[in-house]
């Protein structure tokens, strides 16, 4: 049951998101996309600034440690010279004091040198990270310029689309104006009707002429048959007459 409810809820939210996207103002969405692109670049630049700041901080610390090292070395050398001089002068107490000071300076020097080694390693990694961060900032700047160019093109397309929609909306009321009245026959319909009746009349006339010609031919043929029959009877009658003989009495 819970799984079914979860699926239904996800479907409802997806459907709602789609409806919101379909009805959203393109200019508002473009503005949101531009703000998101700028914010992304700002985040990358901020992170890069932090990385570069860490590198700079380590550089300052390393320089300070190097200065401390040089100072401690100088102080240690001075204490050793003083201890040696006191020993030569037979000032045992002073020699021991200067030697103790030199040992303290030496201990501090070792600690500083250890810090220098650690800081140098950290600084090396910070330099690499800073170089990568600077490269990411350059890439982000190029990508942002490209995105802003695309956004400007989209804005122009939105304006053109809005203009076309306005023109189309203005043209919609003209639809139907000038269309012929369905209750009144068009010239094409009248012409087709006349041509159809004319063709039917021609066909009837042609049939009538054909019928008359056939009738005349039939009458003519009948007359010829009657004449032929009469002529044939005439010949038969002539054949029944006695033959005419000459005066010799044969």
What is the model's pLDDT at position 130? 92
pLDDT tens by residue, 185-208: 666 666 676 767 767 776 667 666
The domain total for the chain is: 2
Kindly give the parts of the chain with pLDDT less than 70. 1-24, 169-191, 193, 195, 198, 202-204, 206-213, 215-216, 218-220, 223-225, 228, 231-232, 242-250
89 falls within a domain: yes
- For residues 152 and 223, membership in a common domain is answered with no
What is the model's pLDDT at position 32? 83
123 falls within a domain: yes
- For residues 59 and 147, membership in a common domain is answered with yes
Give the structural domain span for 211: 187-239
Q: What is the DSSP letter of 168?
A: H
DSSP for 37-58, please give it: HHHHHHHHHHHHHHHHHHHHHH
What is the model's pLDDT at position 118? 95
pLDDT tens by residue, 61-100: 999 999 999 999 999 999 999 999 999 988 999 999 999 9
- For residues 35 and 156, membership in a common domain is answered with yes
What is the model's pLDDT at position 182? 60
Contact call for residues 99 and 20 (beta carbons, < 8 A): no
3-state DSSP assignment of residue 25: coil
What is the model's pLDDT at position 185? 64
218 falls within a domain: yes
Spatial distance between the Cα atoms of 205 and 52, rounded to a whole number of angstroms: 107
């Amino acid at each position: 049951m819970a799984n079914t409810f979860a699926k239904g809820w996800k479907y409802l939210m997806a459907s709602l998101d789609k409806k919101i996207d379909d009805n959203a103002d393109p200019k508002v969405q473009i503005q949101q996309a531009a703000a998101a692109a700028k914010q992304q670049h700002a985040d990358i630049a901020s992170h890069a600034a932090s990385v570069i700041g860490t590198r700079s901080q380590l550089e300052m610390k390393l320089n300070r440690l190097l200065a401390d090292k040089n100072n401690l070395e100088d102080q240690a050398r001075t204490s050793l010279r003083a201890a040696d001089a006191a020993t030569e002068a037979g000032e045992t107490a002073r020699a021991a004091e200067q030697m103790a000071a030199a040992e303290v300076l030496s201990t501090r020097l070792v600690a500083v040198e250890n810090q220098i080694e650690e800081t140098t390693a950290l600084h090396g990694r910070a330099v690499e990270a800073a170089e990568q961060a600077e490269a990411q900032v350059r890439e982000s700047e190029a990508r942002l310029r490209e995105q802003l160019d695309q956004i400007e093109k989209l804005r122009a397309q939105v304006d053109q689309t809005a203009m076309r929609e306005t023109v189309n909306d203005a043209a919609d009321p003209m639809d139907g104006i000038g269309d012929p009245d369905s209750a009144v026959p068009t010239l094409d319909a009248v012409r087709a009707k006349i041509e159809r009746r004319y063709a039917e009349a021609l066909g009837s006339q042609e049939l009538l002429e054909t019928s008359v010609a056939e009738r005349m031919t039939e009458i003519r043929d009948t007359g010829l048959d009657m004449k032929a029959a009469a002529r044939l009877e005439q010949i038969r009658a002539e054949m029944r007459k006695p033959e005419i003989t000459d005066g010799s009495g044969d």
